[in-house]
Amino acid sequence: MFIHGPPGSGKSHLLQALSRLTIDYQRLTVYVPAGAPGVGPELVAQLNADTVVCMDDLDQIVGDQAWEESLLELYERLAGGHGVLVAAALQPPAGLELKLADLSTRLAAGGAYRLRPLADEMLPAAMRLRASMRGFEMPDSVSRYLLRRAPRDSAVLFGILDRIDQAAFSRQRRITVPFIKELEKEVTSSDR
């Protein structure tokens, strides 16, 4: 299976969730952020035929002959066993300009699915869900306040929520609009 979409559409989130889910079912699973420091084709070559491989940021390795060959060999190995490859990139397989045409064909064989960023009207619900997953309740007033002041990008908003949660935990405070205003003042004064 192949998923693609613009930054902030949830590709990495989806792959990481799949990794956690398959581990819960006692499957050997690996999340591979392609192109990350220390992650190379030699890692992929070591994966066995029964592994669930969640390969992220495939765009980062396009045109690298060693990576492409290793990925094609992995695909064949997984197809011969009980393994699964789920890959993600900004573009669908046909738009990646891979050197190995066979790799492009195989990546598209399991279906290519486009993800879209969350619509603005979905952001408050996504923020509440993220807060709930982190173990805190976020009032509607807080989500409205943040949406008026922050970019409407889920990755940015979730990062802000994570920092607010850490600050609230370390100070033993509830997350409220006045608390967020205090944090804004601290950030602004430390930038000067």
Judge whether 145 and 180 are in contact, CB under 8 Å.
yes
Spell out the domains of the chain, with CATH numbers in brackets.
Answer: 2-114 (3.40.50.300), 120-191 (1.10.8)
Taking phi over 0 as left and psi of -120 to 50 as alpha, with beta for the rest, 8 belongs to left
- pLDDT 10s digits, 22-55: 887 778 889 999 988 889 899 888 998 999 999 9
Strand partners, 30: 53
What DSSP assignment string belongs to 106-154?
Answer: HHHHT-EEE--PPPGGGHHHHHHHHHHHHT----HHHHHHHHHHS-S-H
* The model scores a pTM over 0.85: no
Judge whether 96 and 58 are in contact, CB under 8 Å.
yes
- pLDDT 10s digits, 47-106: 989 999 999 999 999 999 999 999 999 999 999 988 999 999 999 999 999 999 999 999
Phi/psi of residue 152, each to 5°?
-85, 60
- pLDDT 10s digits, 102-133: 999 999 998 999 999 888 888 999 899 889 88
